Amino acid sequence: MKRCYWLVSIFFVLAGKLLIAQNPVGNKQVSIIPAPMETKLGTGIFQILPSTIIQLNGKEAELAAAATFFNSQLKRIAGYSLSTGTAGTNFIEFSLKELPALNKEGYQLSVQPNRISITATTKAGLLYGMQSVFQCLPAIRTNAPLQVPVLEITDQPRFGYRGIMIDVSRHFFAPEAMKDIIDLLASYKMNVFHWHLTDDPGWRIQIDKYPALTDMAAWRVDRSGIPWNERKAAQPGEKASYGGYYTKDQVREIVAYAAERNITVIPEIEMPGHSVAAVSAYPQLSCTGQEQALITGGQYPSGIQTNYCPGNDSVYIFLQDVLDEVIALFPSPLIHIGGDEVDKTAWKACAKCQARMKKEGLKDEHELQSYFIKRMERYLNSKGRQIIGWDEILEGGLAPGATVMSWRGEAGGIEAAKMKHPVIMTPGSPLYFDHYQAGPAGEPIAFGGFNPLKKVYAYDPVPVELKGTEFAQYVLGAQANLWTESIETREHLEYMLLPRMLALAEVVWSQTDKRNWTDFRQRLETHFTGLAQKGLRFSEGNFTVGIKPVISNGQLKVALDTEAPDATIHYTLDGSYPTTASPVYTTPVAITGNATLKAITVKNGKPKGNEPAVQHFVKHRATGMNVQYKFPNSNSYMADGPNALTDGIRGTEQVGKYWHGFSGTDMIATIDLQKAQTVKQVVLGCMQHYKDWIFFPSSVQVELSLDGKQFRKVGTYSNKTSPENTVSMQEDFSIAFAPTQTRYIRVTAKVLPACPKGHPGEGKPAWLFVDELLVK
């Protein structure tokens, strides 16, 4: 089916909406994103004219640079720029002076009928004040009057780190696309562009001393158009034709372009894992020295070397040489060294690695990884830089000055903060923007998951465990990650980024008491118009109705919600297709027996979205009962909370939405029925999703107890499906037994020891997904 998400931008243009954040005289609303700390609206407007003068008050060089940026943006929408001089009757003044009540990125914006005044302590603050002005102007070239409403704004960011990561290794994007991303970041007061330049599928930066990195490691056999995890490995004789890299001149240009907009570009050079590209170009850097081709997608041929060899001194020389050239291009104080998902199997069999461990007194391969990271940190420190890495750099001991980027949930970030290390929060849920934001029916392909706009907006970078403690200060901010396994085009890249980036911008900039979902969603409507006028692709929103069970006094009810403003929800309970004539949702709906609920969002009298939300409900003895896990489920797969296993909702085909996930550990769940009851059957719903490393359990065992202490085994169900079966499926593991009085039920689902032979993750931990646990 052809993708049609690009039609959204055309729709908004044809809809005839007015210009972004246009505010006529007397209008008491502005649509600035992120929401400022304080906004006071007056009456009247300031009009920018060709004769308007720019006046500079303060440090001449910084102010001149700020004025140049302002004029470059003004010329884009007005066709002219302003002269600098002494204020007249219509002027814009930029002032640099100390503002003790605000942080270094804060600003004050005053708009009066005869002037606009932006005051800040730093150039960064001036630029942010300008962005607030630009959001009150048309988004594109226009002959209409350029009017800014009279207002007073005092503003500053909540967090100092506000970032987006773009992966250009899995799929390559032209330099102009990177500049467009940087423009978007600047427009919404983001200040970090994390550039993921190297990984297994490709090396994307010119290194003069090692030309094979771009002659060979930047190119792979083309499997475009095929889902990432279904791409076959390169075959003998196939030509490597897909790829690309950024020349040093292009990198310098992009870094300078970002700096003009107060954006720091942090380069990422992956080590010691995710290094297939580098060791393919220079095989001597791996543990075996074997020659190999780049991977073409998610399938890793058996025996492929994915890591550098920590026992080989030439590896450190190579990486130091690479980093020398990287440092010369990037002024960022932080250099990202990756450090994630290191498969240490090759190290265990490597004589050089084992000799290194013995020499350095390292007890295991985790400490060997820590040795590697610390050694590279010392080198970067000697060059005046600090390292930042994914949370796996905690393994074996954290390098002394490292910043930790917490992606596997928040646990790594919490641990690092308690060690008084800087932390950037970037958990997969909700900040992986390669996950679906709507649908998934009718949406462009994504890499699983479900992170809709409202979920992103609700995120708080400071975890509950750190709030009110001395460790909260070590959370510097948050970042969204856009991995590109499923993203081959610039249009798709934009679509996955927008509008979720705007939600994150408000999360990391605006003060907590200024964030309001309903207000944000209304302001977003005007920004949709501007994005469309610029020709950018974006999601109009998630119109899929949210379905959430509510247990009250033993009664199962269902709460419904939609992200769409000014919309209604219509539903049915008998499985029929809902229409505008179906019942309108007002309060939680009671579920009195087995039911199939379908619901749609209706706005302006028309159904929105592609398909109705569908959920099957099953009433059983354990519905609404508490679940205790011996081993916690993954923070990345929490479904609707701790009791998703007994909420009456059956897991769907969508990975992650209603499922509890366990990686490399068994699920051992105990349910308290609150009183002794007669039970004769227990059913556990399970999923197998080969491409996502999810497999049926090898077996499911049921035990019963009256006192919660002494348990008796009553049955086991052994899996009959091969883990090598690539068909996505769900199955009920059902254990029937003689009717038995019990209060406590313990269910053990045995996870597959590892991904099977021939699987892209062969030998690595397998996932176990469960939902629902039915008791009859």
Tell me the catalytic residues: 199, 274, 341
Burial of 710 (0-12, 13-18, 19+ CB in 10 A): exposed
Of 407, 415, 470, the C-alpha closest to 435 is 407
In this structure, which amino acid lies at residue 517?
W
The β-bridge partners of 678 are: 741
Find the angle CA(339)-CA(763)-CA(644) to the nearest 5 degrees.
80
What does each C-alpha distance from 657 to 127, 231, 234, 638 come to in angstroms? 40, 26, 34, 8
Of 590, 592, 540, 593, the C-alpha closest to 567 is 540
Query: CA 770 to CA 748: how far, in whole Å?
Result: 11
Find the angle CA(162)-CA(168)-CA(170) to the nearest 5 degrees.
125
Query: CA 212 to CA 180: how far, in whole Å?
Result: 29
**Tokens read off for 31:** 């649509």
Query: CA 326 to CA 44: how far, in whole Å?
Result: 51
Query: CA 175 to CA 167: how far, in whole Å?
Result: 13
Query: CA 236 to CA 293: how far, in whole Å?
Result: 9
Burial of 730 (0-12, 13-18, 19+ CB in 10 A): middle
Measured in residues, the chain has a length of: 776
Q: In what order do the strands lie in the sheet with 595-603?
A: 568-572, 595-603, 606-617
Site of tokens 């909406």: 17
Site of tokens 């059957």: 681
How many CB atoms are closer than 10 A to CB 37?
18
Please give the radius of gyration of the chain, using alpha carbons only, rounded to the nearest integer: 28
Would you say the C-alpha torsion 200, 205, 207, 210 has a positive or negative sign?
A: positive
**Tokens read off for 563:** 């992200």
Contact 368, 356 (CB under 8 A): yes
Q: Is 173 helix (H, G, I), strand (E, B) or coil?
A: coil
- DSSP letters for 699-712: EEEEEEESSSSS-E
753 preceded by cis ω (within 30°)?
A: no
